[in-house]
Amino acid sequence: MQERLTIVKVGGKVVENPETLTSFINDFSNIAGKKILVHGGGRSATAISEALGIETQMVDGRRITDAETLKVVVMVYAGLVNKNIVAQLQSLNKSAVGLCGADLDVVRAKKREVKDIDYGYVGDVVGVNVEQLLDLINNDVVPVVAPITHDGKGQLLNTNADTMASELAKALAMDYKVQLAFCFEKKGVLKDPEDDNSVIDTLDTELFQEYKAEGIISDGMIPKLDNGFAALKRGVDKIVISNTDGLKNGFSQGTNLKL
Amino acid sequence: MQERLTIVKVGGKVVENPETLTSFINDFSNIAGKKILVHGGGRSATAISEALGIETQMVDGRRITDAETLKVVVMVYAGLVNKNIVAQLQSLNKSAVGLCGADLDVVRAKKREVKDIDYGYVGDVVGVNVEQLLDLINNDVVPVVAPITHDGKGQLLNTNADTMASELAKALAMDYKVQLAFCFEKKGVLKDPEDDNSVIDTLDTELFQEYKAEGIISDGMIPKLDNGFAALKRGVDKIVISNTDGLKNGFSQGTNLKL
């Protein structure tokens, strides 16, 4: 039987607030077995951009990344957020290493071609260096991955953190029984955005299409779920969308994806 | 005979200017054998601080690091500068990993006690994780080290990049024949700051004291040289201070330190 690997993507307000982040890191460090943490940090990037007078443009939950914005996301994601998480994990006696896609060439991407929209320095993942990740994981090191990739020609690129988590999950599904959790401040995918308790327990592709058409599921949740379903199709064992309480009880709550 | 390990600390204007940085990275990647790169990035940090309305305070070439300044140096050193260097090394087919002291617990520090001056979140190195560094180096991975450390209790700290390089050199001097090069925009330690060709070929501790007393050597050069001499005393084989041309010819030019 394959060993379990838990990949947690954490984002949203959980990352922005030092208290919820510390509480999350504690819970994360208590998950048994091998694990990887993928983080966002979008709101900090927006705040720093604002302070630097750089305008933030979003399309369908994705950031348009010009050269100046790229600098900001590299600073905030791969620097500020990443290193603070690593330092906190070390304080809990977990060996951790902060990585962006360029480090050890773990995630390579291709700059997105301009079709209708010029996303700028946004990277679509083309390869995951499974061998390097396995080296770390098998040595009980926790990779803490920032959603920054590179093109192999010296250019850093901005990649959606949900996509990053999903790509890592898919790439490692041959070697481990992977469970992928998207953690944020809500209890799961909500049927009514105004009602925090209207969690959809199980979401299959058909229901997803239906809810999308009805506008029940919208914005940033769409790429998250697209990523989740893509990962399921590629052999990832379990996908759950939940708040951080999910970490404490073996991911038995929140929204489970099914094909 | 011990194998050679070259540790290069690069700073000053070399890091700030994309062209000189790229040229430096090319030269660095051509150094034969095992290597580690330690970088600064101080002027970028100052520029970003200014843009964010955070005042920069320096005492004897060292930055006073309040909580806001710490955020900036973590972003700039461990994020922006570090990841751009790593991406460029990958493009030259050198496996590289960007690290701050918290990553893999490679460099642990203690927040400096307040005596005459409160340096804020500045860390004095207390330990280097030699085993983890050897694991990387022996696998032909180039560690690219940002001058940010941690205290093991979750707190990141700002550490002088020259000190960082010197501490790594000392820690690895048992396992490798270490040469440590401090690279910046000048040809070496100058006898006359106005004359770029007044390079002091060889500097011993006695001459250093003399030049310091006369004010020939001042400011940021003092901690750099203090670090260099400390490393020599602890078994580091060779210390040279030069511009990046030094990298191309086996460090045969610039200022050599002698006890």
Residue B54 burial class via C-beta count within 10 angstroms: exposed 0-12, middle 13-18, buried 19 and up: middle
Q: Which two tokens stand for residue B202?
A: 């060889």
Asked whether the CA dihedral B79, A183, B104, B158 is positive or negative, the reply is positive
∠ CA(A9), CA(A12), CA(A17), 5° rounding?
A: 110
The closest CB to that of A80, out of B71, B95, B153, belongs to B71
Confidence of residue A11 (pLDDT cuts 50, 70, 90): confident
CATH at residue A109: 3.40.1160.10
Q: What is the pLDDT of residue B167?
A: 97
> Which residue would you say has higher pLDDT here, B27 or A47?
B27
Q: Which two tokens stand for residue A113?
A: 């071609």
The CA dihedral of A71, A74, A80, A84, to the nearest 10 degrees, is -170
CB pairs under 8 A between A and B: 122
The closest CB to that of A104, out of B76, B78, B141, belongs to B141
pLDDT tens-digit series, residues A180-192: 999 988 999 999 9
CA B72 to chain CA mean position, Å: 18
The closest CB to that of A105, out of B95, B102, B153, belongs to B95
Q: What is the pLDDT of residue A157?
A: 98
- The two beta strands, A34-39 and A4-10, are parallel
Q: What is the pLDDT of residue B55?
A: 84
What is the span of the domain harbouring residue B224? Answer: 4-258
∠ CA(A181), CA(A183), CA(A185), 5° rounding?
A: 160
Q: What is the pLDDT of residue A44?
A: 84
β-bridge mates for residue A181, sequence order: A8, A240
**pLDDT over threshold 80, residue A63:** no
Q: Which two tokens stand for residue A74?
A: 């590299």
Which residues in chain B touch residue A95, judged by CB atoms under 8 angstroms apart? Answer: 104-105
Whether B47 has its CB under 8 Å from any CB of chain A: the answer is no
- The two beta strands, B58-59 and B62-63, are antiparallel
The closest CB to that of A102, out of B71, B87, B99, belongs to B87
Nearest-Å Rg of the Cα atoms of chain B is 17
Q: Which two tokens stand for residue A95?
A: 């060996």
ipTM (interface predicted TM): 0.94
A69-92: average pLDDT = 96
CB atoms within 10 A of CB B114: 9
Which residues in chain A touch residue B152, judged by CB atoms under 8 angstroms apart? Answer: 90-91
The contacts of residue B19 (CB under 8 Å, 6+ apart) are none
Interface test with A, best of B29, B54, B92, B97 (most A CBs within 10 A): B97
- Answer yes or no: do A90 and B148 touch at CB < 8 A: no
Q: What is the pLDDT of residue B61?
A: 64
Confidence of residue A61 (pLDDT cuts 50, 70, 90): low
Chain B, 119 to 158: residues with Cβ < 8 Å from chain A are 141, 148, 150, 152-156
Q: Which two tokens stand for residue A232?
A: 């399921």
> Which residue would you say has higher pLDDT here, A48 or B156?
B156
Confidence of residue A204 (pLDDT cuts 50, 70, 90): very high
**pLDDT over threshold 80, residue A162:** yes
Interface test with A, best of B22, B28, B105 (most A CBs within 10 A): B105
β-bridge mates for residue A238, sequence order: A179
Q: What is the pLDDT of residue A251?
A: 83
CB B83, CB A148: distance < 8 Å: yes
- Answer yes or no: do B83 and A97 touch at CB < 8 A: no
β-bridge mates for residue B183, sequence order: B10, B242
Nearest-Å Rg of the Cα atoms of chain A is 17
Which residues in chain B touch residue A69, judged by CB atoms under 8 angstroms apart? Answer: none
Domain count along chain A = 1
Low-confidence ranges of chain B (pLDDT < 70): 60-62
The secondary structure element, H or E, covering residue B204 is strand B202-204
Q: Which two tokens stand for residue B147?
A: 């001058």
DSSP A141-179: -EEEE-SEEE-SSS-EEE--HHHHHHHHHHHHTTTSEEE
Name the nearest CA neighbour of B175 among B65, B72, B36, B13: B36
A42-67: average pLDDT = 83
B101 min Cα distance to partner chain A (Å):
9
Range of weakest confidence among A22-36, A210-224, B202-216: A210-224
Whether B86 has its CB under 8 Å from any CB of chain A: the answer is yes
Helices (H), chain A: 13-16, 18-29, 42-51, 67-73, 82-91, 130-138, 161-172, 205-214, 221-233, 245-248
How many H-runs (helices) and E-runs (strands) does chain A carry? 10, 14
CB A189, CB A196: distance < 8 Å: no
- Answer yes or no: do A103 and B84 touch at CB < 8 A: no
Q: What is the pLDDT of residue A180?
A: 97
- Answer yes or no: do A97 and B87 touch at CB < 8 A: no
Confidence of residue A53 (pLDDT cuts 50, 70, 90): confident
The CA dihedral of A99, A103, A106, A108, to the nearest 10 degrees, is 110
Q: What is the pLDDT of residue B193?
A: 84
The closest CB to that of A95, out of B83, B105, B156, belongs to B105
CA A153 to chain CA mean position, Å: 24
Residue A258 burial class via C-beta count within 10 angstroms: exposed 0-12, middle 13-18, buried 19 and up: middle
Measured CA to CA, the distance from residue B116 to residue A45 in angstroms comes to 36
Measured CA to CA, the distance from residue A168 to residue A178 in angstroms comes to 10
Name the nearest CA neighbour of B187 among B202, B175, B197: B197
Q: What is the pLDDT of residue B56?
A: 81
∠ CA(A70), CA(A71), CA(A72), 5° rounding?
A: 90
- Answer yes or no: do B80 and A95 touch at CB < 8 A: no
B118 min Cα distance to partner chain A (Å):
22
Measured CA to CA, the distance from residue B128 to residue A6 in angstroms comes to 30
To the nearest 10 degrees (0 to 180), the angle between helices B130-138 and B161-172 is 80
